[in-house]
Amino acid sequence: MGIIRAIIAFIMEIMETVVFVGSLFIVVYLFILQPNQIKGASMEPTFYNGNYIFTSKITYKIRQPRRGDVVVFHSPKNHDIEFIKRVIGLSGDTILIENNEIYINGVLIPEKYISAKTTLVPGSFAQEGVPIQVPNGQIFVMGDNRPRSSDSREFGTIPKDLIVGQVFYRYFPANKIGPINNPYDDRGNLRAYSLLILGARS
């Protein structure tokens, strides 16, 4: 009987450990961070198809989104789908796309992180030479691979409550492991390109 009791006690300890670890994982996943896999080419050259990242769910409970942040958010057309894009315009900003260049509040933005110039599709939300005012509580997002990204140029600005979180770390592939740096400083000015080398669905 003593052996049976010992076995039962051992099994119960294992089960308690499994339940504890499982509960901890659920709490972390729901409230703190979640892993995401990059699917598609819309964020090249910053992220490539098959990269794995961590998304912080608490960053925007502490501060507001900043220009240059990479965010995961629910698609405005289908909330079951998550996109990954870069924040370009903040609440109150005026965005102008003209001659394949981006102007924010009348200032040309020299985007060193994109793979190609910003293109527009006739009939989409963003139009050549037409200013876009970002409403309060919303952001304007675009992929770094402009010709191959479905983003705010197509479906408009994004309410902040659709944001899942900020992408802050890449953990695969091994040669790209590291934190994800914002190319802009706290004042919205572009940092030196050398700092970008560290470099969801598209």
**Mean pLDDT along residues 125-129:** 96
Residues 9 and 64 in one domain: no
- Whether 70 is in a domain gets the answer yes
pLDDT in tens, 65-121: 999 999 999 999 899 999 999 999 999 999 999 999 999 999 998 888 998 999 999
- Whether 202 is in a domain gets the answer no
Q: Reply yes or no on whether 91 is catalytic.
A: no
pLDDT in tens, 150-193: 999 999 999 999 999 999 999 999 999 999 999 988 776 777 64
Residues 11 and 55 in one domain: no
pLDDT in tens, 11-47: 767 776 666 555 544 544 445 889 999 999 999 999 9
* Enclosing domain of residue 2: 1-31
- pTM of the complete model: 0.83
| Token pair listed for 102 | 């981006």
Q: Could you give the number of structural domains in the chain?
A: 2
Spatial separation of the C-alpha atoms in residues 38 and 166, rounded to whole Å: 14
3-state secondary structure 2-28: HHHHHHHHHHHHHHHHHHHHHHHHHHH
CATH number at residue 183: 2.10.109.10
Indicate the average pLDDT of the chain.
86
The residue written with tokens 């409230």 in the block is 31
Q: Reply yes or no on whether 42 is catalytic.
A: yes
For residue 67, the model assigns a pLDDT of 94
Residues 73 and 93 in one domain: yes
Provide the percentage of residues in the chain whose pLDDT is more than 70: 83
Q: Which of 56, 57, 85, 202 is catalytic?
A: 85
Per-residue pLDDT band at 194 (split at 50, 70, 90): very low
Q: Residue 8 above 90 pLDDT?
A: no
Spatial separation of the C-alpha atoms in residues 190 and 111, rounded to whole Å: 8
Provide the percentage of residues in the chain whose pLDDT is more than 90: 68
- Whether 133 is in a domain gets the answer yes
Q: Which of 42, 56, 152, 202 is catalytic?
A: 42
Per-residue pLDDT band at 196 (split at 50, 70, 90): very low
